Amino acid sequence: MLRAMPSVHVDLAERSYPVLVAAGLLAQAGDSIKQAGIPLLRAAIISDETVAGFHGRALIESLENSGFRPTLHTVPAGEASKSMGHAETISREMIRAGHDRKSMVVALGGGVVGDLAGFIASIFYRGIPFVQIPTTIVAQVDSSVGGKTGVNVGEGKNLLGTFHQPCLVIVDPETLRTLPDREFREGFAEAIKHAAIRDGSMLDSLAALDPNTRDVPAELIARNIAIKARIVEADEHETRDLRALLNFGHTIGHGIEASLPYGEMLHGEAISLGIRAALFLSGKHAGLSPADSLQVVRLLEKFHLPWVLPARIKTQTIMEKLARDKKFVSGAIRFIVLESLGNAKVIDTITASDLEAAIEHLRS
């Protein structure tokens, strides 16, 4: 019997699902999936080689003990694995292992694995269910919820993908203890983003954490997930401006990330720089106070996230990557700014010159 735990319900009519958050939940994953009413017995676990080495055996045993028949499929760790090539390779492995439309995918890993596994689930036999078991801060507070899946191409990140909601998300904060320091800290950029756009008081809760430990309260993770869930419920496919708020810091951040070889700068590190750039533009275009901006930058510093752009990354290169960003609509940019902490909005008055100025601001 599963004990009471923090949980968030994502209400999307027939695509609704629960997000369970509790320490030690990985070992109960099989029971959690069974209690969620998922009747499929064949499970293709998709993970990366590093995460599978830490957590693969525990997940396989939990699934087997609950009557499921799992197979494990891995990709090399890193952003480069989020590709059409790896999607095809894993899909063919699953076919050879006997998986079909009566199987499910279980994603075990960070954002790369979650995006790749979700994409595979959305196209395998024209779509099968999947479960997310995120193992990084980025994935736990953000990317595991909302149904965005995808792979990268040379022209940019996430330009190929689908909306495919999971049927269950299982979050075990204990998995964070196996992360290297850099991978652990980068995820807090997404938590800081959530606080900045929707819950300014959560900045104080984040400031109270010790970034040198792995003690992240389940309640704080659930609080982040709830912010993401409420926005996704109101704008599942980003057809309105509401879900676009989740892109705060991501416009320039993605441009920076795409300007380097995959994996050289972690996603959260690039988003940290993007957040600082967005704060600069928020001051110019939305009246964000210098004190509010400084509070966010100091929190980025607390988690050892970068806030000064490396000189080797050229402004023109970033601008070229930005031109291919999905947030450009008919050549115009939809940019997310803050009027105050916890109060974000989308504007369409940002120019290319503004973006260049924000990038140059990051060099100071």
Q: Which residues are catalytic?
A: 126, 148, 190, 228, 238, 243, 247, 250, 254, 267
Q: 100-120 burial, b if ≥16 CB within 10 A, otherwise e?
A: eeebbbbbbbbbbbbbbbbbb
- Other Cβ atoms less than 10 A from the Cβ of 210: the count is 8
C-beta separation of 86 from 99 below 8 A: no
